[in-house]
Amino acid sequence: MINTNLVLMKENEETAKLSTSFGFDNIFFLEKDFVLVTGKSKKDYLKNIKKAKQKKLLVLAKPETEEMLRFLIERTAVDIIFGMEKINPKDSVHFPRGGIDQVICKLAADNGKVLAFSFNDILCAKDVLIRAKLMNRMRFNIKLCKKYKVKMFFSSFAKNKMELRSANDLKAFWCCLGGNNSFNLLS
């Protein structure tokens, strides 16, 4: 198993050394190894994805709505999608609304998309209730992903060096959320 740390910051030597000392084999930096695409419309997303693919970079997306999530899974060349837990502001009375359902999971598995989970979302939650809600939604999404055999990825998604965590800490947290032993699929 290759441990890969994906961080949302530009490349710098200090972060790379720190990540290596934390037990990671690889570190992927924003704009060097991958691109985080955004857009207000489907056309914007497609244009930004096309630019990233021309540079031969990994493409990540963080959708804002369920409609955009489905579009990204069905019709785009996005490699990794994360942040699904933040799409819906409120949970249902009967179940957590984690942003994905069985239809999305089936489409993601069929199209070879990777659904990622961000430790940074939990770490930077404003209060305990939001943190608990995010963790509950992640557990629910992980169960769905396992059931429909969707590829999953868990990483720090750190925005600065203070948000970095060790590979062992992330692996333990991933297992607590219900993930399997292989928490990292990038090579």
* Residues with Cβ within 8 Å of residue 82, at least 6 apart in sequence: 60, 61, 62, 115, 116, 117, 118, 153, 157
Which pair of structure tokens corresponds to residue 23? 């037990």
Which pair of structure tokens corresponds to residue 107? 């489409």
Check residue 1 and give its pLDDT.
38
Averaged pLDDT in 10-residue chunks for the chain of 187 residues:
84 94 94 91 93 93 94 95 91 85 96 96 94 94 94 94 94 91 55
Check residue 170 and give its pLDDT.
93
Q: Rounded to whole angstroms, what are the CA distances from 183 to 10, 119, 155, 160?
A: 24, 12, 8, 22
Check residue 180 and give its pLDDT.
79
Check residue 187 and give its pLDDT.
40
Q: Domains (ranges, CATH) in the chain?
A: 4-177 (3.20.20.140)
Check residue 185 and give its pLDDT.
54
Quote the CA–CA distance of 85 and 140 in Å, as a whole number. 10
Helices assigned H by DSSP within 38-166: 42-54, 66-75, 102-111, 119-123, 128-147
- Number of DSSP helices (H) and strands (E) in the chain, helices first: 7, 7
Quote the CA–CA distance of 89 and 41 in Å, as a whole number. 21
Check residue 184 and give its pLDDT.
61
